[in-house]
Amino acid sequence: MITDVTAEAYRLPLARPWDGGVAHNDLIVVTVDTDTGARGTGFAWTPRVGGGAVAALLREDCPEALLGQPVQPAPRWTELRHHLREAGAGGITAMALAAVDVALWDLAARASDSPLVDHIGRHRTSAAAYGSGINLDYSRDALLEQVRRWLGAGHDAVKIKVGSADTDRDVDRVATVRRLIGPRRRLMLDANQRWDLPTAEHALRRLARFDPYWIEEPLPADQLAAHQRLRQRCGVPIAVGENLRTVGEFEEYLRAGACDIAQPNVVRVGGITPFLRVAQTAAATGVPVAPHLLPELSAQLALCVPLVSMVEDIEDASFAALGALAQPSGVTIEAGTVRCATGPGHGLVFSPAAMQRRPPP
């Protein structure tokens, strides 16, 4: 039975601010203790905003629904979601749910003396990875240096940002990167919801000749009908999901045929339990999953889903790169390939001593 739930919030400064002035990520680490003495670890994560609200929800409102209950991830997720329903279905609520859910899956895998991947059910021993960064504000030279680092690390697929105010700038940058990586490597583009429908159509007509493997978030995530129209017209595969926050939102996109690649973020969608439900729904429609960010956990889930595309290897923003881990996670990305060899559970051991506590509100 669950006997205690605690949450601590930390601030992880980024080596270089992300476009838009994001200088740090907040990490909220949750521990769930049981009457057997076992402990599970979970986490929520958010760039720049929302960390304090997530921590408050975890400390003040989650224990009531969890204490005295069995360690069963799916039933606890359903009950906790109902308990938190007045705070909304997604956003802050989903991130708090995720932290608890990840901890419960960690506990369940430990109880079976299995790595998380094998406890869930391993579909494959490895998956492809791609180099990724937040680079719209980079100069062309800095962008090329970043891409060279990815190629040097063995990546055969890379993703860069588009969505400049001047489409000519995007065309120049994409053309330059395509020349550098050659015609056979995969090149993905990410507009981060910066376009409207006419702008997206115009930009993609000009960018299509560089053979983009996908265009990510070309439009605001709440514009389902516009994504449908764009997919029908543009001829470039569309990836969405980092800003879809519930299983229901993913189901709407998948039923409508509005995306070619599903990109759930395990924290933003509410945890491992809903992530796996999204992956099953995506597989039923023939859509592969490319987990968004958080490679130390996303890579493990990529080995468990029915259909997988690639894992995002985000430069300088993994937990290891941010100094958040006390020991290697067991997840490795080498030569563009992800493999996982954790001990029991998910293998993530955070290091409170190495992290800054988040300032109080």
Plot region of 211 (φ>0 → left; ψ -120 to 50 → alpha; else → beta): left
Q: Mean pLDDT, the chain, as a whole number? A: 97
Residue 359 lies in a domain: no
Q: Is the pLDDT of residue 317 over 90?
A: yes
Residue 52 lies in a domain: yes
Do the Cβ atoms of 318 and 355 come closer than 8 Å?
no
Q: Helices 140-152 and 167-181, interaxial angle, to 10°?
A: 30
Do the Cβ atoms of 61 and 86 come closer than 8 Å?
no
Report DSSP letters for 311-338, one per residue: EEEETT-STTTTT-BSS--SEEEETTEE
Spatial distance between the Cα atoms of 329 and 346, rounded to a whole number of angstroms: 8
225 shares a domain with 178 = yes
Do the Cβ atoms of 12 and 25 come closer than 8 Å?
yes
Q: Which residues are catalytic?
A: 161, 292
Domain boundary among 113, 128, 147: 113
Overall average pLDDT of the 173-183 stretch: 98
Do the Cβ atoms of 267 and 45 come closer than 8 Å?
yes
CA neighbor of 259 nearest in space, from 227, 229, 212: 227
208 shares a domain with 122 = yes
Overall average pLDDT of the 191-219 stretch: 98
Residue 258 sits at φ, ψ, to 5 deg, of -100, 0
Overall average pLDDT of the 130-139 stretch: 96
What pLDDT is recorded for position 230? 98
Residue 353 lies in a domain: no
The CATH number for 282's domain is: 3.20.20.120
The CATH number for 20's domain is: 3.30.390.10
Residue 283 lies in a domain: yes
163 shares a domain with 305 = yes
- Give the domain range for residue 191: 118-340
Q: What confidence tens digit (pLDDT) does each residue in 209-246 have?
A: 999 999 999 999 999 999 999 999 999 999 999 999 99
Residue 210 lies in a domain: yes
247 shares a domain with 187 = yes
Plot region of 114 (φ>0 → left; ψ -120 to 50 → alpha; else → beta): beta
Spatial distance between the Cα atoms of 253 and 2, rounded to a whole number of angstroms: 36
Residue given tokens 């100069």 in the structure block: 139
70 shares a domain with 122 = no
What pLDDT is recorded for position 361? 67
Do the Cβ atoms of 266 and 294 come closer than 8 Å?
yes
What pLDDT is recorded for position 359? 80
Q: What confidence tens digit (pLDDT) does each residue in 26-57 have?
A: 999 999 999 999 999 999 999 989 999 999 99
CA neighbor of 344 nearest in space, from 38, 71, 69: 38
273 shares a domain with 150 = yes
136 shares a domain with 108 = no
Residue 354 lies in a domain: no
Residues 6+ apart with CB under 8 A from 210: 174, 175, 178, 187
The full 3-state SS of 98-162, as one line of letters, equals HHHHHHHHHHHHHHCCCEHHHHHCCCCCCEEEEEECCCCCCCHHHHHHHHHHHHHCCCCEEEEEC
Q: Is the pLDDT of residue 360 over 80?
A: no
132 shares a domain with 27 = no
Residue 268 sits at φ, ψ, to 5 deg, of -70, -25
